[in-house]
A and B are shown apart, each in its own frame.
Chain A
Amino acid sequence: MKRLFLLALLVPAIAVACGGSDGGSDGLAEAPTAPAAPPSAEPAEPAEQESSDASGEPQGEEIGEQRSIGDTEGGDEAATDPTEPAAEPAEPAADPAEPAADPAAPREEDTSRPVAPVLVGTTLDGEPLSLEDFKGRPIIVKVFADH
């Protein structure tokens, strides 16, 4: 009886051991739960690549759109992480552009300076002349006499 009992215990254990190595149905029923995740994740990645290839004619814009789409879809954390550090370096890139644009930009009016009084009359050649004729560009006024 003891031998029969031991055999009854050993037979299922041996069957499980053999079934797992041989790929038996009982062994696969439990095992597939763990491998099931990788196959489901693998088709998801190519699906994203296909969508990126199909939608992306201009690469730069599409990359940005894909990242934003990935963030809105609530995708993997690994997908959201690379987008955030990519956005941060973009800001310092815009900063150096500002000082470069400042020299080219028109100067702002310095309202602390007094407005030049009216200067209007005729030239030594008899032509009418007004300081207003020069407004919009700097001018040097020379006051002189011949002695």
Chain B
Amino acid sequence: MDYLGVHVNDGDDAGRSFADEYGWEFPILSDNDWQQISQWGIAGHPATILIDEFGRVAGGFYGPGDASSWDDLASNLG
């Protein structure tokens, strides 16, 4: 599964240090002013959104999520 991060608030340096702290190696888009992600209807963070192979939103949740949150998300991929 591929990951794409979208960092909001606080500038790129803060986002880079946060990603390094958690060992995230996937690409992270800089969106400090929420200009990009606000078009998705996302109004808070953290948020997780699943995009299917057809470029459609298959599900998502706010917060860090628990096991059931991820299971529900994975079930949307059939």
Residue positions of A touching B, CB distance < 8 A: 107, 109-111, 113-125, 127, 129, 131-132, 134-147
Contacts and interface: CB of A to CB of B under 8 A. Distances in A.
Interface residues of B, number: 44
Contacts of B10: 145-147
Contacts, number: 147
Interface of B: 1-10, 12, 14-19, 27-31, 36-37, 39-40, 42, 45-58, 73, 77-78
The dominant DSSP class at the A interface is loop
Contacts of B8: 143-145
A111 B58 CA distance: 11
Contacts of B56: 109-111, 113-116
Nearest to B31: A121
A119 B37 contact: yes
A121 B29 contact: yes
Given A119-B37, A140-B1, A109 B30 contact: no
